[in-house]
Chain A
Amino acid sequence: MTAAVDVPEGRRTLPLAAPGYEPPQPRMAFFTDTTVCIGCKACEVACKEWNDIPETPFAWTGESYDNTSALGANTWRHVAFIEQRLPQITREAQEGRFAAPGDERVDLAGVGTSGLAGDPGAGSPGDVGSPAGGDIRWLMSSDVCKHCTTAACLDVCPTGALFKTEFATVVVQPDVCNGCGYCVPACPYGVIDRRPDDGRVWKCTLCYDRLKVGAEPACAKACPTDSINVGTLEAMTTMARERLDEVVAAGVPGAQLYGEPGGNGHGVDGTGALFLLLDDPEVYGLPPDPIATTKHLPSMWRAAAVAGGLLLAAVAAACTGGRR
């Protein structure tokens, strides 16, 4: 039904997108619009079903409705739930949206509000009513592997198990991975992880097998509100920026894009998974300024060379002083 995977004109790839593939394919990417996420977790389940991922340990967290807690070897899509009480948030935006122009205000008392601040019932002269107080908002966001342009996991992989596909997505080859675990702390987003009973690392493949046959990834297919979109990076970037403009124009506070090369995707040269967030990244458990540390490798090797030199010098100095 959806044309999400259709490739618009202009088959262009970013630098470093997917070197070595002829003819070049357009880079594929996610755009997760968290403003329309309803927290149904269909993406998590669809992902696990399609990719045959084992469940995580059953553990109730009390962290709103989130019981899978983070991305990991067995959770390739993870829906975060954030409950916020914000004094002025959303009320005006809601009124602006729902009230007829020139009409008196639509009474939204009780809609999405929780009257817990101050005296319950204040400002509610009626016998039954929702107490006044700060509004709350319930943020939901489906997180996923960022498929970085400069992917630290891939860079540090010593076996070549991690590779860049023709869609410029970052994928682990399970038949190659020997479970050295280096990619795990290398990922600036805390995405990839080792499956203890299996020994290898696992993460989102952006449904490489489905992309190969022109089908959209399972999570996007299952998403009932089109919070998860898939297409060329170009198309997703355009969609994300247009949506951001809409949301900002509607007066929603805190709206920001996540993952653009010119923004907070800077340190990884942009991601293949863009997000529209309604608060700072760290509120969703995302790093505000991630970096592919392999970018600093030259300086690290230089420091190692200097240190190695010091070692040689120490030995030389020690050996020149005679036997005793």
Chain B
Amino acid sequence: MVPAAELRSYYDRPVIKAPVWTWEIPWYFFVGGLAGASAVLAAGARIAGQGRLARSARLAAGAATVVSPALLVADLGRPARFHHMLRVFKPTSPMSMGTWVLTTFGPAAVGSAALAELRWLPGLQRVAEGVAAALGPGMATYTAVLFADTAVPVWHEARRDLPAVFAGSAAASAGALAAITTPPRHAGPARRLTLLGSALELGAAEVMRHRLGDLGEPYEQGDAGRFARASRLLTAAGGMLVALAGRRGRLPAAVGGTLVLAGSVCQRWAVYRAGFASAADPRYVVGQQRARLRARAGAPG
């Protein structure tokens, strides 16, 4: 049992520091995931010859991409120094890699949308769309690595599953937004993506919680627990609604899509808050490390 009662601590104080990040980060994770998956959807729809849907997804990717850097910069302790991120290319830092992904993806996604709307330079627009689509999965999943590469037990120990959760959540949100903004008769792929993404998100989250075991306790309790439950409910209900009733009209698609989007936001908030709870309680940090030591020593338990 990880949070065993006999675990000792220094006046119950945290062993590791909780992140100093604020509300911008979970929102950025959501918006970045939405942008990345939308860019992929845009390319997919275009290849499948579904121009109307491609346009919705392209615009979604472009708009989300405009918002996301603002959220990132606002969270910095020294926002005026955001460009210091660009002085190194550092594979050991998921944030550095993410910065470069965003720096490349951003202009591509925005450029693709703008050029397509303005009907300028179709060749360049295609290239931009391709670049954005290629980097889209990175946009959707690097943030999971960013969280996993910390000493926060509930994040680091979920390192195998967190990217799938984020990828599913991103796909669901991209599908949902496209289902809302696209006339139902053009939105079949978006609805299917919503359903597939929701399923991936819910399934991966379930696997993650199961594999975390006692470390996953924060997902049951407090703020994180509330967000996790809300996310499950909203994503499941919204996904079903979009899939079953989305084709019948814009209203069910809008309602279902909104629920899925909200579920996706809650998913990021659940992960984000669970990290804080996990870092704040020395039982998780010490318990998990003691368990690791016991396992290494080959002792039972």
Which positions in A face B, CB cutoff 8 Å? Answer: 61, 63, 66, 69-70, 72, 80, 82, 152, 155-161, 176-182, 184-195, 198-201, 280, 282-291, 293-294, 296-297, 299-301, 303-312, 314-324
In the complex, which residue of chain A has the Cβ closest to the Cβ of B286? A282
- The docked-state distance in angstroms from the alpha carbon of A144 to that of B78 is 26
**A286 in contact with B44 (CB, 8 Å):** no
16 new A-B contacts, CB < 8 A, other than A159-B88, A187-B17, A287-B151, are A80-B10, A156-B95, A159-B85, A181-B75, A184-B19, A185-B150, A285-B282, A296-B149, A297-B145, A300-B148, A307-B144, A311-B136, A311-B167, A314-B196, A315-B41, A315-B44
- The docked-state distance in angstroms from the alpha carbon of A320 to that of B164 is 22
Q: Take A185-B151, A318-B196, A319-B45 as given contacts and tell me if A303 and B292 are in contact as well, using a CB distance cutoff of 8 Å.
A: no
B151: chain A residues within 8 A (beta carbon): 152, 185-188, 190, 287, 290-291, 293
Number of contact residues on B: which range applies? 35 or more
Tell yes or no: B114 within 8 A of A by CB: no
The 8 closest A-B pairs by CB, nearest first: A179-B77, A199-B77, A308-B137, A285-B10, A178-B81, A307-B163, A307-B167, A289-B289
A289: chain B residues within 8 A (beta carbon): 289-290, 292-293
Q: Is the interface of B mostly helix, strand, loop or mixed?
A: helix
**B19 in contact with A190 (CB, 8 Å):** no
- The docked-state distance in angstroms from the alpha carbon of A156 to that of B289 is 21
CB distance from A294 to the nearest CB of B (A): 5
Interface stretch of the complex, out of B183-191, B211-219, B232-240, B254-262: B183-191
**A180 in contact with B189 (CB, 8 Å):** no
Q: Take A82-B10, A288-B293, A314-B197 as given contacts and tell me if A293 and B149 are in contact as well, using a CB distance cutoff of 8 Å.
A: yes
22 contacts between A and B (CB under 8 A): A70-B13, A156-B92, A160-B84, A160-B90, A181-B19, A181-B76, A182-B95, A184-B17, A184-B20, A198-B77, A283-B8, A290-B289, A293-B156, A300-B145, A303-B161, A304-B141, A307-B166, A311-B137, A315-B41, A318-B193, A319-B45, A323-B186
**B88 in contact with A297 (CB, 8 Å):** no
**A158 in contact with B17 (CB, 8 Å):** no
CB distance from B70 to the nearest CB of A (A): 15
